Each structure stands twice: as structure tokens, then as C-alpha cells.
Structure 1
């Protein structure tokens, strides 16, 4: 390894398994000290325990790195505040926050219960907002004290948040919200030395293994495992390092050996009457503009 993150302290949420574990190990391999956050819950959000986070800490220590476990609920103010405090108490600083924690409550909209909507919003969207809030407050204080950091935040969205996904209205809405949060945070915290970006990864994890059991199966032998979560981590490590200076407010897709910069919403065909339209005029104009525009990408799972 190159020591890309030597001296940096990195928090990774949801790091007991899957993508988060891969990120934590990859940061440690590049010299970072890592705070491994995980509640240790089952895929449906039930249960819990310190085992998964501690096992990752033990893996990092066995490889010669430094890490501590954090088992707090980062979708609560106390849990998010203690997460940042753990990094500062254990290692004396904080350089990078990787928001990764999440889970699923998949249903078609007409069957989606209010508590299933709320649970996914809480874990994904609130679970991004609160750690970001407390980390940003620390970095703002550092900047005001004359110690402007080279701070980095990597948020985790999804293709569902970019394009939508049938049967995942709650998840798609939360992941789209994370992109909006990323853009605002990048604009607001840049003055404090903070860069904020997002990834939309595709990988085999507990969240995806049932949905994509066939297409995401691990290959046999020495064939390239395109859906291994470890394929996503190199980009995350680079975004979380000082080497990514100048990159902020961007969204990247990462899958297998492919990295794509997502370009998002931007103005397309437009018309300006200079006065108020009638409904019929507005409709005729909208149809003409749509005929000149690029067709949208299909929603995942749409037929």
C-alpha cells in the first residue's frame, strides 16, 4: 500500500459488514486510524451487539493497524455526538467521515407502511445528517481556531436515489435526499476546509444479496469478483484522503472496475413567453420541449 492516509483518523458508519467493513479495512491498509461504527443488527434492523464492529477492529489490529469500535446509534443526537467524541478521545483528531450505515424495508408503495417509511428515512437520511452535523461542527471550531483541516466526508447514496427503484420508494427517496444533503453540505462547509462527496455503489452485501442473488453471486476460482464490496473502497479511500483536494459536491457511481461521474439535474430545453401561459399553451410548449429533450434513464425494476 502507498500510505495515502497516513496520520488521518477516519470514521466509517455501518462498518461491521459489507461495504463499511471493506472501507474500514481499506483505510487502515493505507495508514489511517479507524473508528468502526456498527450496531450489529440483523438485516431487518432487529437484534444488535458489539460483535461485528469488534471483529473488524480485531482484523485491523491483526494487520498492524489501529482502530476502535463504536456501537452507538448514529441516527440519534447522542449517538452521533459520541461517535465524533470517540474519534477525538481515541486518536486526538478527526479527518474523514464515511456515512455508510443503512438497511431496507422494501415494499410497493400501496403496501408500504408508515413505520417502514420512517425507519428507512431515519437510518439512511437522519443517519447521514447527524454524524455530518457533529463532525462539521468540530471542523468549524478547528477552522475558527486557526487550524483549518483537510476534512473529507463521503456519503453513500445509490442508483435507486439517482434513478428510482421499483419496490423501494422509501429507500429511493432517502438516497435521493442524501444527494441533496451532500450538495448543501459541500457548499456550506467548504469555508471550513471540508469537502463533501457522495458515491452510488453497486456491490454484493447483506442488503442486496436476496434482491440480486443470481447476478451478484461470487464467481468460482480466480475470476474477477465484479460485485465484491472491496471494489468500491479504493474510490472511497481516495475521496477520504488529502489527495482528493478540490473535489467536492460531486456524485460518483462505483461498481466492479467502473467509476462514473454522475452529472445530475441541469437545464435542458427551455422556452420563455415573457408573460403568463394559458394551460393549453403551457401544455403545448411542454410537449415541444420534451420532444427536444433527452429521454430519462429507466427506473430500476421497471418493465
Structure 2
């Protein structure tokens, strides 16, 4: 099937946490679908290599922390200068600081909240302001924002209350923004993942824990990064023009009925 609505041609997409793993898979697929990408990460070397591989006319590397509010606005400003507009945002950047609840230090709690929840808000706000300005000026295709959540935010997780709380918070962030911005044709959705084959999930996929987790996944395997990139790019595209305020789980059936 050849459906032009699935294309991202002429769309400018900001992807946070784009240097590796899921973020890189989303950025790669967006490029293949015709988009230009503003790639955000702390890993300067990886971003610059990505730009050199894809071409300076297709990728704008932005090196910095999503937890810095000024950096979010600077990213939007530079993306608009280079590509003319921002049509999509994927809030994907993330870290983990695991510890059991009674042993978790305040710093470990705050670091994860700052990156996953506050950082997503900063970028959503900065990109959203730009999209609303365009919408008010008559642009009917204002844009699409996807917040990357997790099964940890819907079912809870052991040893990562900071991560689970932040990912649950992203569901509220999505629903509030979707309600406020629907009249401007700014769509806001969440995609939540289970266990994806990335460096961040090496511990869960280790011999010690693998059987326990796999037994709870009806499809019986881990997700590949490209498999979770596809639903994200679908929501960025015009094929999802009537979808907003939704939470899509790409997790092999781990949260059926939840």
C-alpha cells in the first residue's frame, strides 16, 4: 500500500534523546519517511556522526540537557531558523537511577523527574508555543507531539519509583495538552513501551530477570527499536490526523486490558 498520508516529507521533527537506542531509531525512520530532524542529546560525538552520515541539510544536532528550560527554547529557535518550522516533537530523552524506595536518595529522585517529566514539559511548551503561533496565523497543519512513556507508568515497577512516577506524569501531560491545544490542531499523544532491546534495558534482559519478564509478554520476545519507532512516526504523520489525547502501548501485549 502506498499512502502519502504516512509520509513525513517536508516535516521538521525534533527528537530528544536521539543519539542512540529508541531515539536514534525514531530519527532514522523519520528521515527515511522524508522528514528533517533536529536531534537533541548530551552525546556530542554521536550527534555529530549522525549529522555527517545523514547530511547537514537533513539533521541539526543540538547538544545539551533537556532539563534546562533555556535549552528547549534555543532548540526550537534554531530548528525554525534552519528548517523554517517545527511540525513534530518526540519527547524521548530519558535516564534511570534505580534504587528501592527506602534507599532512594533525593538526588536520584530529582534527576529522573527533571529529565523525563520536567524536560518533556519544557520541550512541549516551547514547541507548542511555536505551533500555536503558526495555527493562529492560519496554518491548519500545526503539528503533532508524542511523549514517550512506559509500562512502568501504567503498572508500576520495582526499584524505579522515580521512573514510574515520571512516566505516569507524562500521561497527564499528554491529556492536558491535548485538551488545551486540539482547537489549534496541535495533536498530543503518548506511546508507551515495554522492554526494548537498547542499552538501558540490559539489566532486565539479563539471564537473572529475562524469563520472568518474557513470561508476561504474550508475543514472547523483546521489541526491536525500529518496531517502536513505527507507531511514533505514524502519530507524527497525517495518517493520524484525527488522533489526539491517546495512549498507545507498543509492548507485545504486556498491558492487555490495562
TM-score w.r.t. length of structure 2: 0.88
Q: Which residue of 2 aligns with 1:18?
A: 21
Q: Which residue of 1 aligns with 2:42?
A: 39
1:157 touches 1:178 (CA, 8 Å); kept in 2? yes
Q: 1:262 to 1:155 in 2, by over 3 A?
A: farther
- Distance in 2, matches of 1:59 and 1:226, equals 28
Q: Which residue of 1 aligns with 2:205?
A: 212
SS of equivalent to 2:153: helix
- Distance in 2, matches of 1:59 and 1:260, equals 36
User: 1 or 2 for the larger relative contact order (CA 8 Å, sep ≥6)?
Assistant: 2
Q: Which residue of 2 aligns with 1:243?
A: 239
Q: Residue 30 of structure 2 is aligned with which of 20, 27, 35?
A: 27
Instruction: Could you tell me which runs of 5 or more consecutive residues in structure 2 were left unpaired when the two chains were aligned.
Output: 212-219
- Distance in 2, matches of 1:111 and 1:244, equals 43
1:72 touches 1:83 (CA, 8 Å); kept in 2? no
Q: Which residue of 2 aligns with 1:233?
A: 229
Q: Residue 132 of structure 1 is aligned with which of 124, 130, 138?
A: 124
Q: Which residue of 2 aligns with 1:79?
A: 71
- Report how many residues are paired: 244
Q: 1:228 to 1:236 in 2, by over 3 A?
A: same
Matching of residue 185 in structure 1 with residue 177 in structure 2: yes
- Distance in 1, matches of 2:58 and 2:156, equals 39
TM-score w.r.t. length of structure 1: 0.75
Q: Which residue of 1 aligns with 2:153?
A: 161
Instruction: Could you tell me which runs of 5 or more consecutive residues in structure 1 were left unpaired when the two chains were aligned.
Output: 41-49, 217-223, 265-303
- Distance in 2, matches of 1:165 and 1:261, equals 13
CA-CA distance at 1:260 after TM superposition: 8.8
The runs of at least 4 aligned residues of structure 1 exceeding 3 Å deviation read 258-264
Q: Residue 176 of structure 1 is aligned with which of 142, 164, 168?
A: 168
* Greater gyration radius: 1
Judging by fraction of residues, say which structure has more helix: 2
